[in-house]
Structure 1
Amino acid sequence: MIATVIHWGTSPEITKLFGVFPLTYYGLLFTGGIALAYFMMAWIYRREGIGDEKFDRLSIYVVLGTIIGARLGHFLFYQPEYLWKAPLEVVLPIAKVDGVYQFDGYRGLASHGGIIGIIIAVILYCRKTKLSFLWVADRLAVVAPVTCVFIRVGNFMNSEIIGKPTGGDYGVVFRLVDAIPRHPAQLYEAIAYLLVFSMMIMLYRRNVKPDGFIFGIFLILLFSARFGIEFFKEKQVAFERGMTLNMGQWLSIPFILIGSALAAYRRKSAVNNEYGHAY
């Protein structure tokens, strides 16, 4: 059998801007993913005749909700002790190294926290604009998986969120971590999210109704993929080692259940509206 091991040891840092601020692949991919989702959402708003003013406000709400939610989610779910031990590192993109604070970027970001932050931001946005939450959520569900793809590729570039050993002479050796062939779990997840994106585009192009159904399917597919791929990942924090399911899986379950309930309820409502007055 021919060995199929890929050795990966690319430095996460491309260069230092002004000799101080690190320019990283993850940062570029994160920004690029948000930018692509932004332009796609702008196209959707124009296609459906929603004014630019409402779209501009949505982009501000969503970007802030994503970053704040993902940052707070990381520390709430994975490192809660930092909330009182090092609150500056929670709020600011810095880290203490040898007793001195240095610019480090926002390295701790949790996707589940990001989703919660976006949901809260959209609720506040809809209260201001009088748009339907489910209408907006459906359209965000179409573009969000693109950003998720870019983020997971960024994790691969960082050699983080690595997979478990494959146990054979195949896999990816993350040379910045060790010399063991491992599952490229980040890429598994990126591919899964690309498939979710394809499904969302198909549902949107078919004009699937009622509002909320696409969002429900999005939650089911995205977090089911996350739940399954977690079995291929190494534990992220020490307290997960004694857990049957890791934190990412436990956090995914409520989203899967909410998505299932929402999709079923909205589909039932559509059927009742269509046939309820037949007699």
Structure 2
Amino acid sequence: MKFTGTENYVATEDLQMAVNAAIVLQRPLLIKGEPGTGKTLLAEELAKALGAPLIQWHIKSTTKAQQGLYEYDAVSRLRDSQLGDDKVHDISNYIVKGKLWEAFSAEEQCILLIDEIDKADIEFPNDLLLELDKMEFYVYETKERIVAKNRPIVIITSNNEKELPDAFLRRCFFHYINFPDAETMQDIVDVHFPQAQKELVKDALEIFFDVRKVPGMKKKPSTSELIDWLKLLMADELSAKALLEHDPAQAIPPLYGALVKNEQDVHLLQRLAFMARRRG
């Protein structure tokens, strides 16, 4: 089965090709792109499209690669030994399986999402080279080798916060999700709000792309922020009316807090609106 997107996820031809190529090559698919462009959602929708289980490993700055394999709970074993519990004699009782172990031991092929890999330490990707390449690892405490029953489809996302090692990149199929153009964005909005007023959506999209074009914006609004903004506009008839009557030379958009996420950008838009009023 080939991935062509879903009723809830608009996938461009380039993205479809990348997903299907990674599946054929049996390589992890490394997805980069602006925050809010649907990188994480891709794994969720791919799992739905293929009817496969989804295993999610969300990476934090403190996450270690070993945690994805397994962890040995020595503290619990020490406590149980002090209490005289018989299970202390079997060390496997204190091995906590990680997300990779979960994916490797799944009875059917699953989707493994390694989300925001660039948040972790720079050595994190290198520590997973063998496991992602060979789809196996060794448990030293129990002296057993864990081999994937069915090779999972691995989706790895990155927000480009730090560079990934070349050796890791070599093992991945790479795709960068470009920010949607106006036509693709219209398709995305139609998926989320099929009953929305066309005039409202048209005006909202024009304002959204105008805000993104403002020079000096520290954080440009993303797709997810546009969806939130439209949801608010449709929930508040007064705001929707204000948008339809909106004069771009008079003020910043109504409910701009859904689009703009830091004070520097708010002040920038306010200054531009003030300057436009003076010229008017």
Tell me the TM-score normalized by structure 1: 0.29
Structure exhibiting the larger radius of gyration computed from Cα positions:
2
TM-score by length of 2: 0.29
Counting helix residues as a fraction of each chain, which structure ranks higher? 1
